[in-house]
Amino acid sequence: MEKKIIHKHTKIVATLGPVSESVEVLEKMIKNGLNVTRFNFSHGEYEWHERVMNNVRMAAKNVGVPIAILADLQGPRVRTHMSEELEIIDGETVRICDISMDDEEIAQKFSDQKVITLDCPKIIDSIAVGNDILIEDGLMKVKIVDIMDGYAVADVIDGGVIKNHKGVNIPDARIPLPTVTKKDYDDLAFALAHDVDYIALSFVRNGQDIVDVRKHMRKILGDEVSLPKIVSKIECKEALNNLERILCATDAVMIARGDLGIEMNPARIAILEKDILEKAIRHMRPVIVATQMLASMEHNPRATRAEISDVTNAVADHADAVMLSGESSMGTYPVDTVRTMAEVATQTEISPYDDVFDAMPLTFSSEEVRIAHGTYDFARELEAQAIVIYSESGYTARLLSHFRPDQNIIVVTNNQKTYHQLALPWGVKSFMCPGEQSREKCIENAIQQAKEKGVLHTGDLVITVLGTTKTGKKLTLTGTRIA
């Protein structure tokens, strides 16, 4: 007997890699609750990305559900530039250089000293006495004690073996790299050519970063309807300082707890997560909670109790999505990790701890907001089973999603891009309306498709809403009907 697709409100984002690239594995992941596939452009050749994107689309078509594709750009990453491994020991002094000084010059100048070289030109000019330099996700740490001509002197706080091309964080320094690098623009051009649904920007610093990328995409595509949505990754101090401006400019956010936990005091990460979540929801921005959510399942068939609690808390705090990284890209159990995450989300959603007792507040108001709020109240009062929406751009769907209703949010659209992008917002289940049909006919079509998928059942009470159209038809709450 064929396994039914798991239906839940909270969405699952999974990073793809060697263990999850095949159509067969992807189909299993989708049936177990996968909604969004993440392509990490820090790794992999274009040939691999293209092939696996095609596999995602094939698997989604075979299963019959929308799956969004998210292209995650690397961003301004500083890395070690080492010709050989170097062991540093607690308490000793080392030199910090960058590639403005070549290997021969470094060897001559520091022949009897230990040197850590960074791959960012002129970064020494941005470093100050007292700065911490964290290497390989913070496993090693040195503190700057002096700045010299072309290099810095640092004391080793936490030693270890430094390898080539490992990530480097300098929390209090302004790195002399643009938020979107040349590599990022090349990767963005590839992603746009392959019609991805979301672009994730790493190490976003302010709202202007997002405005610039969206302007660049418009210049390439020319068609507003075809634009991917932008996901801003919150992972540095500057982003936290400019969070309100970022939320006004972006389409969605990702709480990237890995680098954020290096840049900030790790003891504050859970509090920062809750704060970012609350502010993003107020701005009607979908939120993805990411990093190490089920990390032990890279190698073990079961998650730890702490990991289960981590996912539970994100769901209870109304995150739109929770994300898998190495668990689904490199781990031994890619399908099981998705299944585990879906089961935790489902159990949390049927508990009282994620319930919304009052309408979730918004930072703005409009006629559309008031109608959506009224729809939410109407559905609660009538104890309807679903809210069925016709939406061309997805805006009405995201607006209803914001209020986190108990009902399924069933959305029908005539826009293929919207169909896939709605795989991310909380609670939304999207369907395509084939051909040129009226909004009312599309609603009927969606109800029938939802019944076939087991999302609705004959006799269910549904609230129907017609979204704003490009021809000028306004958002309208049209009433109720029986499925």
Query: Known catalytic residues?
Result: 38, 79, 233, 291
Closest CA to 318 of 200, 198, 425, 199: 425
Residue 61 main-chain phi, psi, to 5 deg: -65, -40
Helices (H) and strands (E) in the chain, counts: 16, 22
Q: Are 317 and 7 in contact (CB under 8 A)?
A: no
Query: Tokens for 291?
Result: 């990093």
DSSP for residue 80: B
Closest CA to 252 of 391, 394, 389, 431: 394
Closest CA to 429 of 34, 6, 65: 65
| Residues contacting residue 306 through CB under 8 Å, at least 6 positions apart | none
Strand pairing report for 78-79 and 68-72: unpaired
Q: Are 463 and 379 in contact (CB under 8 A)?
A: yes
User: Which residue shows structure tokens 């801003």?
Assistant: 232
Closest CA to 203 of 140, 254, 165, 161: 254
Cα(36)–Cα(420) distance, rounded to whole angstroms? 9
Where are the alpha helices (H) located in 351-438, listed in sequence order? 367-382, 395-402, 416-421
Q: Are 202 and 232 in contact (CB under 8 A)?
A: no
Sign for the pseudo-dihedral over CA of 152, 157, 161, 165: negative
Residue 126 burial (C-beta neighbours within 10 Å; 0-12, 13-18, 19+): middle
Query: Tokens for 29?
Result: 């992941």
Residue 452 main-chain phi, psi, to 5 deg: -65, -30
User: Which residue shows structure tokens 């992008």?
Assistant: 421
**CA 410, 414, 417: angle at the middle one, nearest 5?**
90
Residue 224 main-chain phi, psi, to 5 deg: -60, -35
